Structures are given as structure tokens and as C-alpha cells.
Chains A and B, each alone.
Chain A
Amino acid sequence: MVFIRFDESKPPELILDDAQGLSLTVADPILGRTLNMQPDLVVLASAVIPNENKALFDLFKVPINAEGFLVEAHSKLRPVDFSSEGIFMAGLAHYPKSLDESIAQAQAAVSRAMTILSKEAIWVGGVVATVDASRCAVCLTCVRACPYGVPHIREEGHAVIEPAECHGCGVCASECPGKAITLQHFTDRQIIAKTDALFCECATA
């Protein structure tokens, strides 16, 4: 198999001559010459255009690129995962690829899914909001702010956030006027410590 590069501004020219058959002329930028050949058959690679799946993708909150193909969490480290946990991908929706590659990717997606399905119970991340009951003024701000309706106020007399239900976005923590809510691993002290560290004299000295 011989590959020939061509410049996009000078595409190959194909002429059908009744007497001589097909004639293909292409300027090879590496040789710096124009090549002419008489192929028996010319097969065009047709474009692969993604389906209009935006509504479906929005539903799962999976990202697409400018062309409309899906984007993985990380092209090298998490090639069949999405950044949302537990959603995997395979096939042409990702980018134009051969069947072999689609199958390999499907197998990868299955094995990634099996890492979850094979477990009796899974550990979820510790990034959840906790309430300091003594600071809670029962103002209902967190109840209104939470995009998932997780915080509730019942007979306890203060806001309660169920850790298993919390998605860990931290909206409640930054909205809470009484600073009664802390998002674990992203506490105010931790975030401020990061900016402090960037400007601390000792860090640059």
C-alpha cells in the first residue's frame, strides 16, 4: 500500500476517458512532482457525520465537541469514561473509527462497567456537604439552593443533608448565610489556603 499526501489547496484530479479508462493526477508535495496513474477502481472515503443526539446527550450531561462527537473524560487516562461517574462510551458517536476500534472500545467500556457491577457495594467520594447544627438558623436557603432538593428540615430543628444523596457541588456551602454548611475537601479554609499559598512570600523565597 502506498500513501500519497496532497495539499488541500491542490486536490487530486480524476478524469474518465472512454479510451484509456481512469486517470488520476495528484501533486505530491514531498516529491515535489505531479504523479499520474491509471487506477482500475477509485473508492472514496465518505464523511462520517454524528447523529443529532443533542437532546439525549444533554439528558446524560455528556459533553460533545464542536463537530458533535462525544468527548471522553481524558483521552489518555480515561478514554472510555465520561467525567460523570458510571457513564461509558464506545463506537462512532465518539469519532469516526474502524469497526475493530469500535469493538476494542466496547470491550473497554464493558470492563470499566464491570469494575462497578462486580462489587456488592461501592465507596462513594467524601465530597459531601455537612451541616453544623449549632450554626443553622433554619433559613431554608440550602433547601432552595440545592439543585437536587437534598437538604431538608424536619423535627431535628436544623437542616439535614443526607451524605448518600448529596452530589457534592457545594452550592449550599457557598450560599449558606450562616456558614453552617461545609463541603468536605473543599472547605473555605482549604480554598483560601490555596490562594494564600500562591501569594505567600515564603513560597517564592
Chain B
Amino acid sequence: MTTDNFEPQIVAFCCKYCAYAAADLAGSMRLSYPPNVKVIQLPCTGRVDILHLLKAVEDGADGVYVAGCLEGECHFLKGNLRARKKVNYVKKTLEEIGIEPERVEMFNLSSAMGSRFAEIANEMTQRIKDLGPSPVGTHNV
């Protein structure tokens, strides 16, 4: 696949209380965001394991992001802070093996921020389009 019509595959791990609710709100607000983003619901971003992020990259995701509650407002107190640490760890790991760390990101938003959810999806899709297909992905095969 050439980069001209490159449509990235992005996995978004969203917490049930904020990011997933914001995605729901974005839908009821009739906001449009790129279909490249595939949402996986988690009870809390604290449930995100380094393994899940790496596995998504290994499976061929061009971008992966974790979206949780605003810092200090996590429904489960500190899950989002733990998730941020793990995202940072994965970024470092990817850099070491020669994959752009920007492919993995952590975002924070509240359940009332439907438009922010769409904005993040746009932002991430644009970022990955600029980076091009993941070297791990099936696009290059």
C-alpha cells in the first residue's frame, strides 16, 4: 500500500467512565471523526497492561492510544496516572527497537468532552498519517 492512500489503523483503549462516555457523547452530538480509530472499552485505564499496548502494535496497529479521565478525576482515583506511566514505558521500549514513540499516546478527557474525543481521534489519525505505516504492520508486506 502506498502512503498516498494510507489509511492508518488506530486502536484506542478507552475507560468506561470518561473517554468511552465522551465517545458516546460525540456520537449523540453527531460529531464525525475518522473511522480509523477502533475503540476498546476498559473499566479504567488502570487496567491497561504494557502487554496490551505492545500486542496491539505487534498485531499491526499503526497507532495506539489510551484515553482516560482527567488527571485527578479518575473514577478509580489513580488508574489514569498508572496508565500514563505504562504508556511512557511503552514509548521508551518502542524507541529502543526503532519504532517512532509518537505512535503510542496517552490522552485525558472528561465524559462531557465529546468534541475533545473527536478532536483527539482527528489529531491521532493525522499524526499517524504523517508518520506513515507502522514497520510492524501488514501495509508493507
Please tell me the size bucket of the interface on B.
35 or more
Q: Give the residues from 46 to 100 in chain B that come closer than 8 angstroms, CB to CB, to chain A.
A: 46-49, 51-52, 55-56, 59-61, 73, 75-79, 82, 86
- Selected from A74, A84, A192, the residue in CB contact (under 8 A) with B75 is A84
Q: Give the residues from 155 to 205 in chain A that come closer than 8 angstroms, CB to CB, to chain B.
A: 167-171, 173-175, 183, 186, 188, 191-192, 194-196, 198-199, 201
Closest A residue to B53 by beta carbon equals: A195
Q: How far is the CB of A78 from chain B (nearest CB, A)?
A: 10
Q: Does A63 belong to the interface (CB within 8 Å)?
A: yes
Chain A: interface residue total (CB-CB under 8 A):
35
Q: Report the separation of the CA atoms of residues A192 and B75 in the bound assembly, to the nearest whole angstrom.
A: 24
Q: Does A75 belong to the interface (CB within 8 Å)?
A: yes
Interface centre among A64, A75, A191 (most CB of B within 10 A): A191
User: Quick check: B9 and A83 within 8 Å, CB to CB?
Assistant: no
User: Quick check: A183 and B111 within 8 Å, CB to CB?
Assistant: no
- Selected from A58, A169, A195, the residue in CB contact (under 8 A) with B43 is A169
Q: Give the residues from 53 to 92 in chain A that come closer than 8 angstroms, CB to CB, to chain B.
A: 58, 61, 63-66, 71, 73-76, 83-84
CB contact under 8 A between A195 and B55, given known A170-B46, A183-B43, A188-B49: yes
User: Quick check: B82 and A171 within 8 Å, CB to CB?
Assistant: yes
User: Quick check: B47 and A169 within 8 Å, CB to CB?
Assistant: yes
Q: Does A11 belong to the interface (CB within 8 Å)?
A: no
Cβ contacts under 8 Å, A173 to chain B: 47, 49
Closest A residue to B11 by beta carbon equals: A195
Q: Report the separation of the CA atoms of residues A90 and B38 in the bound assembly, to the nearest whole angstrom.
A: 34
Instruction: Give per-residue flags for B1-42: 1 if the beta carbon is below 8 A from chain A beta carbons, else 0.
Output: 000000001010000111001001100100000000010101
Q: Report the separation of the CA atoms of residues A192 and B14 in the bound assembly, to the nearest whole angstrom.
A: 14
User: Quick check: B111 and A83 within 8 Å, CB to CB?
Assistant: yes
Across chains A and B, which 5 residue pairs bring their CB atoms closest together, nearest first? A170-B47, A169-B76, A171-B46, A147-B77, A169-B44
- 15 A-B contact pairs sorted by A residue (CB < 8 Å): A65-B112, A75-B25, A83-B21, A147-B77, A147-B78, A167-B76, A169-B47, A170-B43, A183-B47, A186-B43, A192-B51, A192-B52, A195-B56, A198-B38, A199-B60
Known: A58-B73, A169-B47, A170-B79. 7 other contacts (CB 8 A): A63-B111, A65-B112, A83-B17, A183-B43, A195-B52, A198-B61, A199-B61
